[in-house]
Amino acid sequence: MAVKVHPIQRLMDNPWLLLALGIIVPFLSYTLWGWIDMASMPKATLP
Amino acid sequence: MANAVAIPASHEESEVITKPVGNHAAGNSRTCDTTGLPVCLTAQLFIRLNAVLGVVALLAGGIAALLIALTRWPAVHLLDPVWYYRLTTFHGLNMLIFWILFMEVGILYFASTTLLNSRLFSKGMAWASFVMMVAGAVLVDVTILGGKADVMMTSYVPLKAHSNFYLGIILVAVGTLIGVANFFGTLYIAKRDKTYAGSVPLVVFGATAAAIIAVVTLLHGALVMIPTWLWSMDILKEVDAGWYRLVWWGLGHQSQQVNVCAMVSVWYFLATLTTGAKPLNQAVCRGAFVLYILFINLASAHHLLVDPGVGASWKIWNTSYAMYLAVLASMIHGFTVPASVETAMRKKGHNRGLFGWLAAAPWKNPGFSAFFLSLLIFGFIGGITGVTLGTQQINILAHNTLRIPGHFHSTVVGGTSLAFMGLAYYVVPLIFKREYYARGLARVQPYLFAVGIVLMSLGMSFAGSYGVPRRHWDIEFTGAQFAPGFGSGAHVMLGLMGVGAVIAFVGLLTFILLTVAAVFFGKKIENRAMTPW
Amino acid sequence: MPENEEKAAEVFAHEHEEEEHKTPGTVVLTLALLISFAVYYFANWKALADVWHVR
Ligand code: HEM
Ligand SMILES: [Cu+2]
């Protein structure tokens, strides 16, 4: 009979899922979004 | 796990264990005479190697620290400009990268083996990691001292160093990544071999958080350093300066979050070793580490608050809304760690008034004093200045002033480095099995270092509030057309910084001399517990 | 603290009964931290307002 484990406890007991989330969240929020901002910057008008 | 490790410390069981136990091969583990914890001998070897190299880097960076601090102190103004910038580059890399990373890989090996009662996943990987890290660090240092990489630790393009500088950093990063992979491998075999039951202990959980953040960090490092290395060899035409800054800070700042996680884990560890404190609420402490994993890395954006290439929404989301979840986590740790000490001390009967427990704490134990001073400096100075500087609007006041080094010397030096020093006062007797000499001096050392760093950090912060820039050789602008803008207030603060730096250097040198003396010449600890501090 | 160090191995094991805690000293420390933060943070906004006039 399986004991009910709280989902957050299950997350905390799963280093692989934490690893995946730990990579994805900052990559999307910081890196990818930052790249998008930079790519959508208009070209400088200086000579 | 509790029964697996609660082996009574006795003479018969203290030697190397000759039969296979747990997943340890025969003759490859021992039981610690002091704590009763199992020690994997392979891990022990690499913890020792990493600790020694870490201390070597600390010494190299420390000597440079004294010289550049005496240059920033206008009354002394020691070095010429070339050597000021060269040694500032050297200081940043040896301290922030080499000292810290060597220690952290050692901590990861320790947490995943001893605290999980497991063997280290792979000896070959540990060698590969160590050799690459050492080779990379030597390459970087030789290149800097040879005058081929005066680009500061951040090496912002289009400043260009010799390609060996970037190659060295890549080697260190990949070496560290292999060390981190070895940690995850150990987590995997420990679970597979059922060396523990249920969830991992809190210190291991904190180390896991550090390792996860390290992976993100090192991936960004590879992403930015490999193109820059190719560019330094003229294989790539150009590396965009804005792009470089974005990705570099994914390395530069996120590595600081590895430090925070490792430091908090060391706090919990030292709190237990020195006062018998137990984490008050496992779920809350672990939840705080999960917040770190998810949100702390976004804070890298605070380095780009005046950059034109990224928008205001990106800046505000990443440094405010989302990042405050990580600040919340720090506040949780900042509360639960001292609260666990208070609970433990009160249980022992130190109940007088509000702070009787604190007064009765083992302040003569350098493991405790280093840990608690680290907590206070990190929280009161590092935390307060950090959240303030990371506010987009306020950042404009402080950007590129000495307020920035003032802030991070209270986090990564007064916080992390001091905590790691406290750890050493246990690692040397427990892992190197050697006693410290001059124990009276060892008891004073954390105070010396803490006082020095606090003075230096405050001096830097207030000088920066007067507008004194960081990374600047001559704030008097000798011979310039315009009179210098810094009055006596700024000079007093720079003097305070200089005095603090000298005291901190003495504290740092004391730590190194005591530790080297203990490691190489200390009285051996065989078949007995360490002499309690 | 020798008597604690012998128990260290058990303490690192994760299972503990959750007990009652009273930690007034830590609460005071925490309040001191929050007040220091508020003062410093406010001073910085004030300094910003002094140099950066919004009209
Ligand atoms: C005795 C101890 C120390 C002293 C006296 C000291 C002093 C200094 C000084 C004077 C600067 C130059 C600030 C400037 O001119 O802009 C500096 C920069 C720096 N320090 Fe330290 N420091 C010490 C320890 C550490 C440690 C342990 C770390 C890291 C773990 C560290 C990390 C850094 C970094 C990253 C920089 C920035 C370098 C740059 O701007 O490129 N310091 N330190
Ligand atoms: Cu940062």
- Whether B7 has a pLDDT exceeding 50, the answer reads no
- Whether B2 has a pLDDT exceeding 90, the answer reads no
Is residue B95 in contact with ligand 1, taking CB distance under 6 Å?
A: yes
In a domain, residue B358? The reply is: no
Q: What is the pLDDT of residue B35?
A: 87
Least-confidence region, from B411-415, B434-438, C4-8, C24-28: C4-8
Give nearest CA residue, ligand 1 atom 3: B65
What is the Å distance from ligand 2's center to B96 Cα?
A: 12
SS3 B168: helix
Q: What is the pLDDT of residue B41?
A: 94
Q: How many domains does chain B have?
A: 1
Selecting from C14, C26, C44 the residue whose C-beta is nearest the C-beta of B338 gives C26
Selecting from B213, B240, B310 the residue whose C-beta is nearest the C-beta of A22 gives B213
CA nearest to A15, candidates B407, B344, B180:
B180
Residue B209 in contact with residue B180, Cβ under 8 Å?
Answer: no
User: pLDDT band at B8, cuts 50/70/90?
Assistant: very low
User: pLDDT band at A2, cuts 50/70/90?
Assistant: low
In a domain, residue B348? The reply is: no
pLDDT tens digits for range B59-94: 999 999 999 999 999 999 999 999 999 999 999 999
Is residue B494 in contact with ligand 1, taking CB distance under 6 Å?
A: no
Q: What is the pLDDT of residue B484?
A: 67
B and A in touch (3+ CB pairs within 8 angstroms): yes
3-state secondary structure string across B371-433: HHHHHHHHHHHHHHHHHHHCCHHHHHHHCCECHHHHHHHHHHHHHHHHHHHHHHHHHHHHHHC
B527: containing domain: 364-478+489-533
Cβ contact C40–B335 (<8 Å): no
In a domain, residue B205? The reply is: no
Question: Is B254 touching A (CB cutoff 8 A)?
Answer: yes
In a domain, residue B35? The reply is: no
pTM for the whole structure: 0.92
Question: Is B243 touching C (CB cutoff 8 A)?
Answer: no
pLDDT tens digits for range C41-53: 999 999 999 888 8
In a domain, residue B474? The reply is: yes
In a domain, residue B433? The reply is: yes
Cβ contact C33–B393 (<8 Å): no
The structural domains of chain C, with segments of one domain joined by +, span 21-55
Question: Is A33 touching B (CB cutoff 8 A)?
Answer: yes
- Give the Cα separation of B124 and B508 in Å (integer): 33
Question: Is A5 touching B (CB cutoff 8 A)?
Answer: no
Q: What is the pLDDT of residue B324?
A: 83
How much is the mean pLDDT over chain B? 91
- Whether C4 has a pLDDT exceeding 50, the answer reads no
Q: What is the ipTM of this complex?
A: 0.90
Q: What is the pLDDT of residue C20?
A: 66
CB neighbours of residue C42 within 10 Å:
11
- Whether B413 has a pLDDT exceeding 90, the answer reads yes
pLDDT tens digits for range B458-476: 999 999 999 999 999 988 8
In a domain, residue B466? The reply is: yes
In a domain, residue B79? The reply is: no
Amino acid at B222: A
pLDDT tens digits for range B244-286: 999 999 998 988 888 898 999 999 999 999 999 988 888 889 9
